[in-house]
Amino acid sequence: MRIWPDKPLLDKRHLADVMIRRVPDSPAKSLIVSLHDAHPGSNAAVAEQIAFLAGYGIAHSSILVVPEFHHQGPVTQDPAFCDAVTAWQGQGHEIVLHGYFHDRRESPPEKLSTLFWTRLYTSREAEFLDLPPATARLRLERGRALFASQGWRAGGFIAPAWLMAPGLTNLLAELGFAYTNSLREIIPLLPGVNRLVASQSLCYSTRASWRRLASGIWNKHLYGRLRDTSLVRLSLHPRDLEFPLIRRQIDQILRASLKRGFQPTTYGDYVTR
């Protein structure tokens, strides 16, 4: 049974209502696959995803590395993981700084206004949602220093769950990051590059069966709209390929996108081209 309809689920004249538009001055169709939450504990899962993508001829992805995932110590304590990341970069994958701890220990106390983001939308992982500027700067500088010690280029920063405190983009630009992302936008930060790109990422929540079902329904609907734009973003987390229905849908997204002429690239290459 076909999952994707022959026609988009929304008429083109309604695309503006959902904040998805064609990329100005970028006629080529781009496919960006990002692999989130890379750390020693997810090394095998990320390696499987890279091999999975290679089966489609996708040799370039953006791999989001967490320097000290859930306060379990710096990734530099695991030489095998560091060697793997270095090898991935050498193969043409982009290494992206993805938060620092990816949890909310040492974060400001929760408020009613943040409970949705910290407890329901994430499982206490919205690290940069409300960090004071001085704390955010310290973690960003520590992350960059760790990357530099391994020879990893940290051109981009993506916050856990894409959630950022007001003013964080200004700080990222000040520190020299080339870009950041939200769920719905790619945000270039380099001087003279001001082409903000509205494009919502396809992603899955797998913490419960109802979340997996909802993710599949929503991503089917969303891809019906994205397929007629010039950019498809697919964000994978370590456990996504474990679930057969999600794995099949990812397979169909990749096959359909490549068939329609979308070219695999990384966030870093996309914002600097």
Structure confidence by residue, pLDDT tens digits, 85-118: 999 999 999 999 999 997 767 666 666 666 554 5
Domain boundaries, the chain: 12-272
Residue 187: C-alpha distances to residues 74, 117, 140, 217 (Å) = 28, 21, 17, 27
Q: What is the 3-state secondary structure (H, E, C) of 123-180?
A: CCCCCCCCCCHHHHHHHHHHHHHHHHHHCCCCCEECCHHHCCCCCHHHHHHHCCCCEE
Structure confidence by residue, pLDDT tens digits, 124-144: 667 888 899 999 999 999 999
Q: State CA 33 to chain mean position distance.
A: 8
CATH classification code of 12-272: 3.20.20.370
**The two structure tokens encoding residue 236:** 């994978």
Measured in degrees and rounded to the nearest 5, phi and psi for residue 32 equal -115, 115
CB 23 within 8 A of CB 258: no
What's the whole-model pTM score?
0.85
**The two structure tokens encoding residue 51:** 């091999």
